[in-house]
Amino acid sequence: MYRENVLRIIPGRKPLNYKSILRPVGRVEIDAELCKGCNYCIEFCPNDILEPSGKINTQGYQYPHVPPEKADDCVACGMCERICPELAIRVFDHRYVHVGASK
Ligand code: SF4
Ligand code: SF4
């Protein structure tokens, strides 16, 4: 009802066509041996993709990982790559999928 009212009041407005909207998807590669376990990437990922892996590298730091169930949730924003002080993260394989597309 609200939607119909808005469309009546503002005749020029049209609902979004979700089928035409694309969003980026990326893959994240983490060099576990470069990681110092600061967790900046985990804190600043806007989509909460990165998590502590529970594994320790040879220097004794716990490095992050992307859980398999979140692999397609990365929006390739590049924040983790830019914020990592050790240059341990690389975002690659940028592609686009339709919003709401099944994984
Ligand atoms: S590229 Fe962006 S969305 Fe993907 S893991 Fe890094 S910070 Fe998160
Ligand atoms: S920002 Fe870099 S150094 Fe810090 S936890 Fe993430 S991968 Fe490791």
pLDDT in tens, 31-68: 999 999 999 999 999 999 999 999 999 999 999 999 99
**Identity of the residue numbered 29:** E
State the average pLDDT over residues 64-85.
95
Q: What is the pLDDT of residue 25?
A: 92
The answer as to whether 10 is a domain residue is no
Indicate which residue's Cα is closest to atom 8 of ligand 2: 35
The answer as to whether 23 is a domain residue is yes
Structural domains in the chain (count):
1
Alpha-carbon span 66 to 51, nearest angstrom: 6
Indicate which residue's Cα is closest to atom 2 of ligand 2: 84
What is the residue whose two structure tokens read 């169930």? 69
The answer as to whether 29 is a domain residue is yes
Residue 96: phi and psi, rounded to 5, are -125, 140
Q: Looking at residue 88, which CATH number applies to its domain?
A: 3.30.70.20
User: Does residue 101 contact residue 27 with C-beta atoms inside 8 Å?
Assistant: no
The answer as to whether 103 is a domain residue is no
Which one is predicted more confidently, 71 or 56? Answer: 56
Q: Domain range holding 65?
A: 19-98
Q: What is the DSSP annotation of 60-95?
A: SPEEEE--GGGGGG-----HHHHH-TT--EEEEEEE
Compute, in angstroms, the gap from residue 80 CA to the centroid of ligand 2. 8
